A and B are shown apart, each in its own frame.
Chain A
Amino acid sequence: MRSESDVARVIDTYADTIKRICMVYLKNTAETEDIFQTVFFKYATSTIEFDNDDHLKAWLIKITVNQCKDTLKSFFRSKRIDLDDGIEPGSDDPPDYGFLYDALKKLPSNSRMVLYLEYYEGYNAKEIGSIMHKNVNTIYTWIKRAKDQLKTILKEEGYEANV
């Protein structure tokens, strides 16, 4: 069990990153609170010795992606989203993160995630493969497809982008 001060420091340092992963993967903040508690409690109780902050950050992202996947698969979530159809679950979120986020929301979850990890977090295909438990060739395929999809959507929306 890690110390409370260490856990508090990690929460302060990586809360924004976890929030962004949730927003990319789930497109809303409805389940963010549960995911935050699960991810940081896993950190608090894990016995892994991290080599450095990059190692820790990659581990936290990996755990968050897994939690988001589980949440997406959840029966209760899918039922709730069905019932709330037309009422975006994250309607209490800050309403506008800009046209790029709106365009990303139209892509499949894996496509959104690989683009975010490459462009914002700066991971290469091999590192993304490790985070998402996928073969590096699969990641290359996903990245290529995601870029094409994003380019098409942005064009349709009247934005020119060099993806």
Chain B
Amino acid sequence: MKQMFENTFSSMHASYDLVAKTKSSVMQRMEKPQRKSFGLTKLMMGLTIMMVLIGGGYWLYFIPVVTISVDINPSIELSINRLDRVIDVKAYNSDGQTIIDTLDIQYQSYPDALNTLMDDPTIASLLSNDGIANITVVGNDSDHCLKMVETINTTVQCEGKMQCHHEDQQELQGAHDCGMSYGRYAMYQFLLEYYPNLTIEEVNAMSMRQIRDMLQDEGVDMDISGYGHGYNHGHHGDGHE
């Protein structure tokens, strides 16, 4: 067998051309180490810049800074990035899920996304039947959130059936643990001042109209046209903005 291998492979040779080409190519590459190293440095610099841009772009685009909670009876939350774009949409009840399953509002600006939501036939029907859209802008930068509240109040078409306000995110930390949107949780906290025995399940089953009516019955000023930070606590307008 060894002899068979010897006979077979001793006839295999690298051609003159192959040897000459290899020598020429290797020698050329040996003469250009400096250029290669410069190319490598440029490549590394390019990669670093690309990583910074990608990291910065990710920070700018994919990190949410504000949450807009839209509650009627459907409860939906929109996560908004620094560029005022919707980067995530979540529903907090089955009504909300049904609506977001049929809408494509991701990556829209938040006023466009809210208008699209309000135009949804289910939401439009709820609002025309005495429903109220409670829109809560939740974030840590109050100035920015209040500007957003103002924008929403001036650009979102809701025919007077909308109440928009800002809440501080830190005060609503427990919302998602209770399975509630920020907006519904804020209302729940508010209701507890007057109805301390109210359960999470009961509040989850209520529409914003029912909650608003309960609070109004207790003498809370739920001025639908007002906007700003929080609701007017207290009886008949003696609260604070």
Instruction: List residues of chain A with CB under 8 Å of any chain B CB.
Output: 1, 4, 7-8, 11-12, 15-16, 18-20, 23, 32-33, 36-37, 40-41, 44-45, 97-98, 100-101, 115-116, 119-120, 161-163
Contact = CB atoms under 8 A, between A and B. Distances in A.
B7 interface: yes
Interface in B1-27: 1-2, 4-9, 11-14, 18-19, 21-23, 25-27
Given A12-B19, A33-B21, A36-B14, A101 B26 contact: no
Q: Is the interface of B mostly helix, strand, loop or mixed?
A: helix
Contacts of A119: 1-2, 4-5
A74 B12 CA distance: 25
Given A8-B27, A37-B22, A45-B30, 10 more contacts: A1-B30, A4-B30, A8-B23, A15-B19, A36-B18, A37-B26, A40-B26, A100-B4, A116-B5, A120-B5
Nearest to B13: A16
23 contacts: A7-B27, A7-B30, A8-B23, A11-B26, A12-B19, A16-B14, A19-B13, A19-B14, A19-B18, A20-B12, A32-B18, A33-B18, A36-B21, A37-B21, A37-B29, A40-B26, A97-B8, A98-B8, A100-B5, A100-B7, A119-B2, A120-B9, A161-B1
A84 B8 CA distance: 27
B30 A98 contact: no
A20 B12 CA distance: 6
B33 interface: yes
Contacts of B13: 15-16, 19
CB-based closest 10 A-B pairs: A15-B14, A119-B5, A19-B14, A36-B22, A120-B5, A100-B8, A37-B25, A120-B9, A40-B26, A15-B19
Nearest to A17: B14
A163 B22 contact: no
A33 B23 CA distance: 11
Interface string B171-182: 000000000000
Interface of B: 1-2, 4-9, 11-14, 18-19, 21-23, 25-27, 29-30, 33
A63 to B, nearest CB: 13
Contacts of B5: 100, 115-116, 119-120
Interface centre among B4, B9, B30 (most CB of A within 10 A): B9
A120 B4 CA distance: 9
Contacts of B7: 98, 100
A1 B33 contact: yes
A44 B22 CA distance: 12
A123 B163 CA distance: 85
B12 A44 contact: no
Nearest to A4: B27
B9 to A, nearest CB: 5
Interface centre among B2, B13, B22, B33 (most CB of A within 10 A): B22
A47 to B, nearest CB: 13
Contact of A11 (B1, B4, B6, B23): B23
Contacts of B19: 11-12, 15
